[in-house]
Amino acid sequence: MKDTLITNDVKNILDCIFDIITIADKNGKIEYINKSVEKIGWQQSEIIGKTLVELITNGYMKKSVIANCLKSGRNEALVHTENDGYYLNWAVPLFDDDNQIAHVVSTEWELSILNNLQEYLIYTENVPQEDKDELNRYRPRATEIGGVVAKSTTMNRILKEAHSASKSDVGVLIQGESGTGKGVLAKYIHYNSGRALSPFIQINCGSIASNLLESEIFGYEKGAFTGADAKGKKGLFELANKGTLFLDEIGEIPLALQAKLLHAIEEKTIFRVGGKEPINLDIKIIAATNVDLEEAVKRKEFRADLYYRLNVLPLKIPPLRDRRDDIEDLINHFCLLYSKKYHKKLLFDRNAIQIINEYDWPGNVRELGNILERLFIILEAGTVEADIIQGFLSQQNNIQKKMGGKPLELTYKMMLEEKEAELLEQMMPYYQSALEMAKDLKMDKSTLNRKISKFKIKTPW
């Protein structure tokens, strides 16, 4: 298939498909393979342009469903093993006007995912409605999977290590500065694992008041404490059962709670707050932090045994300033994302890209994404030149200097929280209870109580 028949837009669409898709010509030469091939440890550049004979000779595969299809001239299926996984391949011939094979298209599914889908469908049929509601609170964050850009040697190595981590249930600790993409990498691990169709539950351990964190993670029985739901509540461990629990900012977990977390990870068993019956679980734990946990262990602010349990497979994402080879691909990724969102196209000239490359990006990938989205919002479709980028980055730099060097999006979040705390405090005298106020605000009572505790607001009731 000629390159002109596979446009960049079509390639981008194919790269978003979870299954491995391969297109070969009539001679068995691979014309295209989508990015899902990275799930089995291969790179697109290693495969595209090679013949089936070369791939088999070099040990990429033992046999090929495409070769069978070229030989038989009809649809073919094949089950094979790769990296300890079982895969089902389908190949379909495409014929030219003379009824000769012109191309073969194959799709490849991981059988464990299909088995997992069956388990998931059975599971969801039996999940109580209140549990589905709770899962839906976390699901939007889980399903917003960003692209993993890995052009640089360092990021390619990390991606391969992450792929290996997805095939095991041992602890994974992702470290890196704020905004480097720790959450994106955690989702990559989950969605490349056999748990991909089960829940991915994410919690930011630093965003919940310490006195509420235990009940949020482990759940609680009815009457466990004042203000608790009368029916009790499942915690995040139970909601993540059969799936993955992502503990972001793990370094913020209070020392007193770390022992219970260690027990839960080691024994795969938890107790709800106020509960006496053990609950057995099957969960993969991924943790992330932007602090040096080794130093925290030395300062006795983090348990050494928990650190070693989490750090079986460590992944450290470098800051964007140390992986500049990825910046241009990240620009392309975000431009594709925002062109769909805002229905316009922006192109960057070479001088503009050079300025973006030379900027230090203290807020890392998140900051780059925010700047580009701001450009899409403000500018009309067309070419973005160097002076526009220079102006935006100078403005960003000045704001960050005024804010003590903190990334702008973090400062903005702090300002929003201060405003929210102020408004809640002003409204409270007009209500007789937290329940009454929560109903008016169309907010769960537990959510309101978390905010009251987080913002240290004195209540009149």
For 27-85, how does the pLDDT look when each residue is reduced to its tens digit (9 = 90+)? 999 999 998 888 777 888 889 999 999 888 887 887 788 998 999 888 888 776 665 55
Question: 121-125, 373-377, 409-413 — which one is most confidently predicted on average?
Answer: 373-377
User: Quick one: pLDDT at residue 222?
Assistant: 81
Would you give the distance in Å from CA 101 to the centre of its chain?
Answer: 40
Give the per-residue pLDDT at 2. 47
User: CB-side exposure of 258: number of CA atoms within 13 Å?
Assistant: 21
Q: What is 284-341 written as a DSSP string?
A: EEEEEESS-HHHHHHTTSS-HHHHHHHTTEEEEPPPGGG-GGGHHHHHHHHHHHHHHH
Q: What is the pLDDT of residue 141?
A: 44
pLDDT at 102: 92
**Among the ranges given (120-129, 216-225, 355-364), the one the predictor scored with the smallest mean pLDDT:** 120-129
pLDDT for 144: 41
CATH code at 127-316: 3.40.50.300
Q: pLDDT tens for residues 282-306?
A: 999 999 999 899 999 999 989 999 9
Parallel, antiparallel or unpaired: strands 172-175 and 313-316: parallel
**Residue 139 in this model has a pLDDT that exceeds 60:** no
Least trusted range by pLDDT, from 208-212, 305-309, 420-424: 208-212
- Arithmetic mean of pLDDT, 371-378: 90
Choose among 191, 274, 157: nearest CA to 225. Answer: 274
Q: How far apart are CA 121 and CA 140, in angstroms?
A: 19
Is the Cβ–Cβ distance between 106 and 89 less than 8 Å?
yes
**CATH code at 320-402:** 1.10.8.60
pLDDT at site 120: 54
Q: Measure the CA–CA gap between 144 and 184, rounded to whole angstroms.
A: 9
Name the pTM for this structure. 0.60
Q: Which CATH class is domain 3-109?
A: alpha beta
Distance of CA 280 to the CA centre of its chain: 26
Which of 8-22, 255-269, 389-403 has the least mean pLDDT? 389-403
pLDDT at residue 439 greater than cutoff 90: no
Residue 385 pLDDT > 60: yes
Determine the angle formed by the axes of helices 210-218 and 445-454, rounding to 10 degrees. Answer: 150
| pLDDT > 90 in the chain, percent | 29
Q: Convert the pLDDT of each residue in 171-214 to its tens digit.
A: 899 999 988 999 999 988 988 888 887 888 998 888 787 778 88
CA distance 10 to 177: 34
* Residue ranges covered by each domain of the chain: 3-109, 127-316, 320-402, 408-454
CB neighbour list of residue 22: distance below 8 Å, 6 or more residues apart: 30, 32, 33, 34, 37, 47, 66, 105, 106, 108
Query: Which amino acid belongs to residue 136?
Result: N
Which residue, 206, 370, 165, 190, is CA-closest to 289?
Answer: 206
Q: Which two tokens stand for residue 90?
A: 């389908």
DSSP 10-62: HHHHHHT-SSEEEEEETTSBEEEE-GGGGGGT--HHHHTT-BHHHHHHTTS-S
Q: Which of 50-64, 313-327, 414-428 has the lowest mean pLDDT?
A: 414-428
